[in-house]
Amino acid sequence: MRLAASLVRFWNIRGHLTEGREWYARLLDAVPSRPASRDRARALNSAAIFARVQGDLPTSQKLLEESIALCRDLNEPKGMAAALTNLAVAAMVQGRYADAEAMYLESLTLDRAIDDRWGVAITLGNLGELARLRGDHAAAVALLEEAVTMLRDTGDLRGASTMLHTQGRAECALGRLNAAESHLTESLRICRDLGDRGSMADALNGFAHLAMEKESPGRAAQLWGAAERLREEIGVPLPSFDRVNYENALSATRAALGDDSFERAWREGREMTLEDAVQYALSGEDTPQRQ
C-alpha cells in the first residue's frame, strides 16, 4: 500500500488510472480496515481521485467518506483536508456548487491551521475554478494568480500547470486573449515536459476555446478532435462540469464552418499524433505541421 502511494503521481501523470484503481481495489480489500491507519486513509483518497477522474462519482464519494472517517479517528487534519477537497471537487462536478464551496472553505481552514502552504494553494485554485464555473471570471483570475504563485514556491509545477490552464480559460472569457494565450502556453509546455497526458488534453481543449475567441473555428475543431482522441486513449472523459460549455462551443464551431468542413477539421485533429497536436497548439498557426 505504501508502494502504491509512491506510484500515485506516476499513474496519474501517465494516464494509467485503470491500473492504479485495480491495485487499490486489491490492496484495500486485503489490508484490514481496523485499526485505523494513515496508510489506508491515504490509499482511499488516492483511489477516490482515480475513480472521480474516470467519471465514477459514486465510488469516489464512498471512498472519500471512509477516508474522512479514518482521518477523524486518527486526528489527522492534513488527510482530512485532502479528502474534503476531493469530495468538494466531486460536488463541483455534479453542479452542487454551494456544497463544494462549503467543503473547500473547511479544507482551507484545516490547511491554514497546520500551515500547509501546498494544501492552501490547491484549495485556492479549486475555489478559482468554482468561481469560473459560476461566471465570476475576475474573482477566478485573482484566486488562481495567488494559487499559482504559492505552487511555484512549493515547487509543484504540475499543480501550477493546472491552475495556469484554468486561469487562461477565465481570461479568455474576459476577452483578455493575450494573457489567456500566455498562460495556456505555459501550462501546455509544463505538462508536455512532464509527460502529463491528461493535462495535455485539458490544455488542447483550452487552446480550442481560445481559437474560437480569435475567430479561427477550423483550428478550434482540429484541436478539439485531437483532445478527444487523447481522452479516449487514456480513458479520462471531459469533466461533466465543463460539458455544457463544451457542447455549446462545438455547436458554434460547427455553425461557423458548416457540417462538412467541421467534420473534416475534426477528423484531421483526431489523426494528429500527440506531438503534432501539442506543436500545433503552441504554434498559433491555422495549418498544422506534421513532424
Residue boundaries of the structural domains of the chain = 1-97, 116-195, 199-291
Q: What is the mean pLDDT of residues 143-153?
A: 96
pLDDT at 61 over 60: yes
Q: What is the mean pLDDT of residues 221-234?
A: 94
Q: What is the mean pLDDT of the chain?
A: 92
CATH superfamily of 1-97: Tetratricopeptide repeat domain (1.25.40.10)
Cell numbers for 115: 500551515
The DSSP secondary-structure symbol of 167 reads H
Q: What DSSP letter does each residue of 70-108 carry, written as one string?
A: HHHHHT-HHHHHHHHHHHHHHHHHTT-HHHHHHHHHHHH
% the chain with pLDDT above 90: 80
In which band, very low, low, confident or very high, does the pLDDT at 291 lie, cut at 50, 70 and 90?
very low
- Residues in CB range of 191: below 8 A, 6 or more apart: 158, 161, 199, 200, 203
Return the half-sphere exposure (C-beta side, CA atoms, 13 A cut-off) of residue 170.
27
pLDDT at 287 over 60: no
pLDDT at 278: 96
Would you tell me how many other CB atoms lie within 10 Å of the CB of residue 267?
A: 12
pLDDT at 6 over 90: no
Provide CATH code, domain 116-195. Answer: 1.25.40.10
pLDDT at 238: 84
Q: In whole angstroms, what is the distance from residue 190 CA to residue 160 CA?
A: 9
Q: In whole angstroms, what is the distance from residue 145 CA to residue 166 CA?
A: 10
Domain 116-195 in the same topology as domain 1-97:
yes
| Per-residue b or e along 98-123, where b marks 16 or more CB atoms closer than 10 Å to that residue's CB | eebbebbebbbebbeeeebebbbbbb
What does each C-alpha distance from 68 to 71, 97, 125, 226 come to in angstroms? 5, 20, 21, 38
Q: What is the mean pLDDT of residues 139-144?
A: 97
pLDDT at 241 over 90: no
Greatest alpha-carbon span in the chain: 62
Angle subtended at Cα 19 by Cα 16 and Cα 20, rounded to the nearest 5 degrees: 85
